[in-house]
Amino acid sequence: MRKRNYLLIISLLANLGLAYSVASLLGTRHETPVAPVQSSSAPQTVTLTNERIAGFHWAQLESEDYRIYIANLRAVSCPEETIRDIILAEIDKLYRAKHTALIAQEGQNYWEWDRPGTVHNNDRQRELFQEKIALVRELLGIDLQADNQNAEAGLKASQQRLGFLPEPKRQQLSALEAKYSELERQVYANSHGLSTSEDQAAIAALQQQKSAAMSALLMPQELTEYGLRNSSAAQELRRQLSAFTPTEAEFRTIYQAKVGLQEKLNSPGSGPDNNNVPTSAAADPEQEFANQLKSALGAQRYAEYQRSIDPDYQNLLRIADRYGLPSEVASQVFGLKQNVELQKHQLLEDPQLDTQQKQTALQALRQQASVAAASMLGETGFNVYRDRGGFWLSR
């Protein structure tokens, strides 16, 4: 049987426990006649019984059927307000579990770019929401439409952002975030749309205070987990890696490398005015970052990573998705582009060809590439690509 919210029913249990204690004390006495009370009416005899009242168990009241559960609670004179709280908590847990299971079916993880759910899952979410509202209305006669809309809308985001924390810390962190969000909002509101250096300094001070408060609340590993899910760097990385589809381990590796790179670039003496030019490639933070990723991901995945962050490849993926083409088509066209660029470079560097011969060869290469790309993308997709990113075909 499901775990109950005992805080909501503690007063009920206390009353029932008291009744049981009194009954137990009375049960120790044997049947004894009591002297009649002198009165004008006929004498009466009061009889005490030694029959014990059976011990109370919550299982005697609870039921999988909410209607029976409500009837049982009313039978023991449970206050209607307490009944309402108990049943609402039960229904909320029931539909929260259903909604969580539906989210899990979407395969959405914190290291993935936030994408819309499938049409089926979106429809099922709406069905679950309507089921919950109808059940509450039928059982309790109340309409929680607005409250549940807000709760359901924030459920997925809350699980994504703070689901790794135990509930007490989750509540504390949510309160901390709300506090500093409101303080920052007040700064922006007071600026009346004209942000000054004082406003920026105030925001920076609030962010430092928030960071210190979070460090006091969370353990170092929890701070890392929070950053992986909620930092602006993680959000940007998820967007950037949407075409790479990293595993969780790969996302963590790239994120940590990115954080390390940013720390080096922000360190004193690393800005554009720095006169200390690196003496070797190993001293270049960008090159160190590339070497670190190549070592961690392996040559093949690193090559896929580099391709995934190329704007032209991302554009090809969007075109393929728009016109219902397999994602492999984007890889094929991008591979064609790389091959054409290599051939073009070889033609231009060929000392045995004069300018006219090079122009003729480049024209033929462009024509061949256009035919090949059109066969991969289809006429409509090719025209869109040529006009919106595929400029290499006309160069």
Q: What percent of the chain has pLDDT over 70?
A: 73
Give the phi and the psi of residue 296 in degrees, each rounded to 5. -80, -40
The string of pLDDT tens digits covering residues 239-259 is: 889 889 899 999 999 999 999
Measured between alpha carbons, how far is 155 from 152 in angstroms, rounded to an integer?
5
Task: Identify the weakest region by mean pLDDT among 5-19, 208-222, 230-244.
Answer: 5-19
In this prediction the pTM is 0.56
Contact present, 338 and 389 (Cβ < 8 Å) = no
Domain ranges for the chain: 6-31+49-159, 166-217, 232-270+280-309, 311-393
pLDDT for position 19: 43
Across the chain, the runs of DSSP E, i.e. the strands, are none
Confidence of residue 274 (pLDDT cuts 50, 70, 90): low
- Give the Å distances, CA to CA, from 83 to 78, 86, 144: 7, 5, 16
Is the pLDDT higher at 95 or at 217? 217
The Cα–Cα gap between 338 and 54 comes to: 83
DSSP string, 240-287: HTTTT---HHHHHHHHHHHHHHHHHHHSTT-STT-----SSGGG-HHH
Encode pLDDT of 322-360 as tens digits: 999 998 999 999 999 999 999 999 999 999 989 999 999
